[in-house]
Structure 1
């Protein structure tokens, strides 16, 4: 494969422009369309619904459900939305729930707000009085289950937003669509067909962005930072895209004392791993766009004196740019197959259906959203570094006619060191929940009141 830096020369300028635009938004006076009186009302309603959000969150935390199995959670959400007088659809994208709130004022704009509902196959070690002791079936095996990524909080926050905006129905010129999504974390069981969609892709395939057509979509994610009361954002690339891949290296089995009589796939695999590391360190301009290639599993052989036929590896690619993503995938294939061939082995590379494009906040929608976040948080919307984790909210953003804006809700836990998402020690400060609810509700109301995006 030819090696060239030409495709990367524009990237530093692109990220610099995004940073400059973000800085301009952060410094701009609050230019939101939502009147101060309504913003104040949203704050009052968020504070009023906080006890219910906390109760919902703790109940969901004690009863977590793995991806695609969110039956109890979906039932609770659907009952709440129906009680608020919304039209509700269930079974969307599997176990997803969609509620439609039609405002009392004339308006054609449709705004969507999204929360994810699934938990992870993690054994909880927080010691919280409402800690999970649940178990579930994860790819056919019994596993402990925990809300280790804050989705219990996301669901409870959006339930709170639904209650807030339903109470202001008479003031809404348009429609708000509440999307409660399953399977953001991936799958918990093998699909009937490898290319069957899940998570956001499955909801999109079931028409969640249509009937009525969504004009803009917003979402948030709880994290150990920034400080409680603050939200974090970026304009342009924000969270990495993720592509899982597998590499099967095939050699020829032989006795460990006579490696020359066979082809050693273990040695070839070791060389492939070293070669993959050079994609990031030597082939891509990572000063422009960060990239990570990691091998997370390697399996081969069953005896110390037998060189096996095959070795299997699993890895992930993380990128912040779709052009770089495509190029890096080609380099992974080329590197693995060429190194294996040089050893007399064969390498087969396949990329998983579990993939997420980069999460990118478009400038047009950010121009509207950032001042609203500043107003809703009392000036505590801050720019954050690139996030190497991934989110399938990006699949909604890929629908070019449906711009989406995603932000981070800071919530480091009280009285204990912050733990990263997916840790068995993960927890968050519940005082952040009304902040997130007010921010989401304000973004929705402002979008309904504002002029169409230019």
Structure 2
């Protein structure tokens, strides 16, 4: 198991709490990126800035090995007003690290520092610090800016903390670990009129109601009950009518989740077919928009096996679940896994009063006790893959 100097463990906590005090959101993570880059440069790493706007990559080479590995952490916070009162709470009004990206960055910095000091590997490590994960745009922005063309990365790995899982435990699985996230908006145009004379128009409320019921058949009648898990939820129903006026327009909005891109394609296609058929039968017009924000997070088999081996060595086999159930939450690291083989894992943040507060909650805080666990996993993974 990895033995960290007590000073490094204390530094990781200091870095994490500094990042928590000064959260930044989206692509506007300039101060965060400056802080991270300064640390990496001080340890002798080459740093390339402004990839995907504010993303950065730290490069650490050792020996003559040609193999490489990419490790990714996210940097952005959320637009949430923090309700904690501890000393390191957010000093930026309306912004806070409510998802633990401050901890993710600190763990990766700790691994970079340890590897730079000891250099007990042979090859190249790419430390990827990404902006704008929360909106699902940062990973793709770095990819579009040449992340995998400019850097010869064999495989890429990511990690997220998970409240509710015991601190320092790791959950992972080959294949689909987390779901896609897609939103839809359906606008149905009928012919409004007096509520007392509905026969003179085309009531979009009735049409819209039939559409919502029809959407529920996508999962139950178009996807395999054995192999395809999905959720289609209509969450908004908006009209321009009033108490005695049948509206002219209805807008339906909602959310979809699934675990494969094949399911995602089938859901989108079938959704528009249902809308088109019902509207045609009623004499209504429609507009349909389907926006995919996050792809399914799909781990490759070999890289998941390497991740499990490293986690068992770093954390103890009893703390590793190698075949956890999939999660319906989403993650834009999925975009990187569409380009490169890799593995995403979930590290327990704790339960109940210590680390158990849900993500995206104004009372959430990253559990500093797991900084060492996360960094040890990263270091072990590098040493195993770059022997």
Q: CA RMSD in A?
A: 2.0
Correspondence 1:106-125 to 2 at 5 A: 106-125=64-83
Summarize the alignment of residues 38-77 of structure 1 with structure 2, pairs less than 5 Å apart. 40=1, 42-45=2-5, 48-77=7-36
Q: 1:307 to 1:287 in 2, by over 3 A?
A: same
What does the per-residue CA deviation read over 1:229-271, in whole Å, with 9 as the maximum and x for residues that have no partner? Answer: 2111101111112222221222223233333333222332222
Taking a change above 3 Å as real, the CA distance of residues 280 and 423 of structure 1, as seen in their structure-2 partners, is farther
TM-score of the pair, normalised by structure 2: 0.93
> Does the Cα contact within 8 Å between 2:166 and 2:351 map onto a contact in 1?
no
3-state SS of 2:251 partner: strand
User: Which residue number corresponds to residue 147 of structure 1?
Assistant: 97
2:127 matches 1:178: yes
Alpha-carbon spacing, 1:184–1:261, altered in 2? closer, same or farther (3 Å): same
Structure 2's unaligned 5+ residue stretches are none
Measure the CA separation in 1 of the matches of 2:368 and 2:172.
Answer: 20
Superposed CA offset, 1:360-380 (max 9, x none)? 111122222211111110111
Q: How many Å apart are 1:303 and its aligned residue?
A: 3.5
Match of 2:341 in 1: 403
Specify the alignment match of 2:326 in structure 1. 386
Q: Is 1:205 paired with 2:163?
A: no
1:342, 1:124 → 2: CA distance? 50
Aligned to 2:234: 295
The answer to whether the 8 Å contact 1:266/1:311 transfers is: yes
1:321-340 equivalences under 5 Å are: 321-340=260-279
How big is the shift at 1:109?
Answer: 1.1
Aligned to 1:350: 289
Is 2:267 the partner of 1:318? no
357, 360, 371: which one aligns with 2:309? 371
Q: Deviations over 1:310-344 (max 9, x none)?
A: 22232222111222221121111112222233332
- Does residue 439 (structure 1) correspond to residue 371 (structure 2)? The answer is no
**Aligned pair in 2 of structure 1 residues 236, 304: CA closer, same or farther (>3 Å)?**
same
Q: Secondary structure at the match of 2:108?
A: helix
Judged with a 3 Å threshold, the aligned counterparts in structure 2 of structure 1 residues 263 and 239 are, in CA distance, closer, same or farther, namely same
Q: Name the SS of the counterpart of 2:286 in structure 1.
A: strand
What are the ranges of 5 or more consecutive residues in structure 1 without an aligned counterpart?
Answer: 1-39, 136-143, 188-197, 450-454
State the distance in 2 between where 1:407 and 1:49 align.
Answer: 23
- 2:350 counterpart residue number: 412
**1:271 & 1:338 partners in 2: Cα distance?**
11
Within a 5 Å distance, the mapping from 1:83-98 to structure 2 comes to: 83-98=42-57
Distance of 2:363 and 2:225 partners within structure 1: 32
**Is residue 219–residue 440 contact of structure 1 (8 Å, CA) maintained in 2?**
no
Cα shift at 1:347? 2.4
Distance 1:121 1:266 in 2: 35
Residue 213 of structure 1: how far off its partner (Å): 1.0
Which secondary structure does the structure 1 equivalent of 2:278 belong to? helix
Partner of 1:252: 191
Residue 418 of structure 1 deviates from its aligned partner by 2.5
Shift of 1:417: 7.9
The offset of 1:416, in angstroms, is: 5.5
Q: Distance in 1 between matches of 2:85 and 2:274?
A: 46
